[in-house]
Structure 1
């Protein structure tokens, strides 16, 4: 039976219900439903810091709507949390009591540390970044952390968010130059009180709706060839370029802009100003978007009990993919065992030490696990489906560049299709890197051929050089005719990569 969990996040700008399900014990939780309601609770917090009756009524109505969904999906394990607006409200105890009375939900009010900690947790549990600064800009507050060696070192919560900046400084729908200057002075004054952010020269990792929307917007502006926002990277100058570009748009044009949520059209510009100031103040090397945030941080800490260390992330993702596509794990292990043996023999004869790294071997292992997984959708177009599925699927612990590299190797069919797939990404990799990917892919094709019947008949492989040819002595413990036939057909790919003639020699 699936283990289901619901998390309700009552933010200053939006309220959101996310339902997660764990298909079986040991596998990660998957998001199966994500419902957002833009009630803008912050606008119901008056100058006396009281949430109005109208605001409370909208809050209760939304929670009732969420209750119906939770009942439909048969979810009883529910965590309901609230952040800045209710935290800052003088009548917060009344709000908590009314929520309990009207809905039965126990509303947990996160303090500043908890909100910052859960955001940091989400980042280190879904990326392999060793050191960085996280910024989680909500509607009413902004949480910032600094982590080193994946351990939390510093945190702070700033008393502004994308919506509160808009309400406090912008009279119209978009800021004037004078209002921009007021926002800059206010935010910069806040940052100058936090010396540990200054000049860190590490990546700035954006969490939350404002950061995600910015990343999606930029992807649309440049016609980005991949799907997915998690671990999307931008250089520092890009933030300034996008901001300068958006300043030329009218509010009506911003509302219609592809990639930008209509409800964020009036808050995106103040948000970008904060990101730009933070990048400059920290002297960050790049801006990275994290799709995982507060809710995932709560999930990782309170519910899941898995090892999310950096080295485990990709392994977990591979396990998840193999489960989704019902991949034979025993066959995958045999393919990698054969591929690793071939790579070792090639290394020995070609004297490629230094060219093939431990990271390449790990990449080969991951690609072996999911080699041509697209055949589970369509045998004839296996390679095409494999590349599309892997290049457009978020894989924890891998950057977008690493994800495409994995997809190119795991989908390898030959140099012609390789050139087709890499066309949109060829500027991402050097010629030497492309040659190495073709080599690893062609090794996997031979390895797959050597276990085409999935009986693990191959026990050992030895390579030797004779008269310019390479002899492959292949030891088997059972009938090898199907493997022999398949290998003769597929060895040409490896021959092209190595520029040698291969002579397979099968025997018991």
Structure 2
């Protein structure tokens, strides 16, 4: 199959970035190149509003280096967008002409409204958050939106960013407490000018490099055990702690903070003050980092229109379909095993005399865990459980928060009680005792259900369960001879027995319709 590559160049006020995507066999897009250059274009903007010659030359130099990268690909399409600094430049027409003439890129200058919209679009297409406030703080502007039921309601672009705020309020390399207090008062006035922000009590979703650095510093300080930043969630007290910690450091030490990019050391504190101030105005429930932002929104809107994509109807479903494609998941086998698992849980709940109860969330977790059960066998069948857990726990799954992703990983990788404990140990403080028991039960049911379809013939038609005090009797009705399944069930049922604390007796019978 021919490879189809697409590129986006994002010319921001602080950084310029090139991202190249590959369209895979399933029609989904994977990032294959991500190149960043620190431009600080905002610093070249004169009082007259012109981007001076040094700034233009700096931009052209960066774009020329990017062109060497893009020329090495046969691109189906390339989009080059610019935001606040170029938008606010009085000589933007000259800049556009020189970029086209010397580099060959047709630069599109995004309006304030477009910039805000693309950030929102990226968030709703990569998270399961239905109501929220997004904030994308760049070098020269800050975009905020509010959405309900995944539909944008309001948007606004403030003509200040991390660089402008630093220049406006901070004289040295690191702000003083007095400077931060003045900045806080200014930001409060700015955000309160938008009545639709106040008291929303929804997640605040941060987009862009400063938000990413805030999350990285938090993960470093906490020695966070999971990989990935997308949908990482922190509370206001975490933001406050990081702000106070960074305020104690001189600039030299600030540049060495784990998780903080050296080129953002001088602007990180003004940016954090923006997040903290807006968190308070919104009355936010949490601060959530979105790795997907402006470029991804532009990509969704401009590069995928041929594929009928604008807003994904179900982000989690899209993510699991991508996993199915990447790891060659057998849909027929998975759906049959899931159907068996659902029959077992329904029977346990109906006939378990109150000993077994499954919430809507439990059922959802069971279905997701079953869908990717033993996915690691794609890498190595002998150690499939370990590979399954590692892949799912440490791979970004759009739509799932980190704790939910970990729950799916524990269910899908279930092999035995001891292995479950081993995998769960680094996260022992994340779950209550009853939560761990429920996850182990869901894992054991999943493993048992797959043993009932071990030959992938789909022979199980129905299941009936009789739950007694010390035993569980299960009638399994099959439409074909079931000897291989009987063998697997006898091997695997001990894990279910330990989870439900009962001996399990399985009787296979012919299905008579």
Say yes or no: TM over 0.5.
yes
The change in CA–CA distance for 1:49 and 1:444 in structure 2 (over 3 A counts) is: same
Structure 2 CA distance, aligned partners of 1:452 and 1:414?
A: 18
Bigger mean CA deviation after superposition, 329-338 or 233-242: 329-338
Task: Select which of 419, 422, 425 maps to 1:423.
Answer: 425
Contact 2:77 2:303 in 1 (8 A): no
Contact 2:122 2:294 in 1 (8 A): yes
Bigger mean CA deviation after superposition, 80-89 or 374-383: 374-383
Correspondence for 1:336: 338
The SS at the match of 1:258 is coil
Structure 2 CA distance, aligned partners of 1:383 and 1:220?
A: 28
Contact 1:384 1:411 in 2 (8 A): yes
Structure 1 CA distance, aligned partners of 2:224 and 2:56?
A: 41
The SS at the match of 1:72 is coil
The change in CA–CA distance for 1:5 and 1:351 in structure 2 (over 3 A counts) is: farther
Query: Would you say 1:10 and 2:45 are equivalent positions?
Result: no
Query: Would you say 1:435 and 2:427 are equivalent positions?
Result: no
Contact 1:368 1:444 in 2 (8 A): yes
Contact 1:116 1:157 in 2 (8 A): yes
- TM-score with structure 2 setting the length: 0.95
Correspondence for 2:507: 505
Q: CA deviation at 1:10?
A: 0.1
Q: CA deviation at 1:354?
A: 8.9
Contact 1:20 1:30 in 2 (8 A): yes
Contact 1:70 1:76 in 2 (8 A): no
Gaps of 5+ in 2: none
Structure 1 CA distance, aligned partners of 2:243 and 2:459?
A: 60
Correspondence for 2:171: 171
Contact 2:6 2:75 in 1 (8 A): yes
Correspondence for 1:188: 188
Correspondence for 2:260: 260
The change in CA–CA distance for 1:467 and 1:253 in structure 2 (over 3 A counts) is: closer
User: What CA deviation, in whole Å up to 9, does each residue of 1:82-126 have, x standing for no partner?
Assistant: 000000111011111111111221111001000001111111111
Contact 2:128 2:316 in 1 (8 A): no
Q: CA deviation at 1:154?
A: 1.2
Q: CA deviation at 1:308?
A: 4.3
Structure 2 CA distance, aligned partners of 1:375 and 1:83?
A: 45
The SS at the match of 1:98 is helix
- TM-score with structure 1 setting the length: 0.95
The change in CA–CA distance for 1:463 and 1:354 in structure 2 (over 3 A counts) is: closer
Bigger mean CA deviation after superposition, 1-10 or 398-407: 1-10
Structure 2 CA distance, aligned partners of 1:329 and 1:149?
A: 30
User: What CA deviation, in whole Å up to 9, does each residue of 1:22-42 have, x standing for no partner?
Assistant: 2135x4322111111111111
Q: CA deviation at 1:43?
A: 1.4
Correspondence for 2:107: 107
Q: CA deviation at 1:351?
A: 4.1
Correspondence for 1:23: 24
Bigger mean CA deviation after superposition, 203-212 or 53-62: 53-62
Query: Would you say 1:376 and 2:378 are equivalent positions?
Result: yes
Taking the TM superposition and a 5 Å limit, the aligned residue runs for 1:204-353 are: 204-304=204-304, 305-306=308-309, 308-309=311-312, 312-352=314-354
Contact 2:11 2:81 in 1 (8 A): yes
Query: Would you say 1:447 and 2:449 are equivalent positions?
Result: yes
Taking the TM superposition and a 5 Å limit, the aligned residue runs for 1:68-147 are: 68-147=68-147
User: What CA deviation, in whole Å up to 9, does each residue of 1:159-196 have, x standing for no partner?
Assistant: 11111222233222111233223322332332232222
Correspondence for 1:150: 150
Q: Provide the aligned length of Structure 1 versus Structure 2.
A: 506
Q: CA deviation at 1:472?
A: 2.1
Root mean square deviation, CA, Å? 1.8
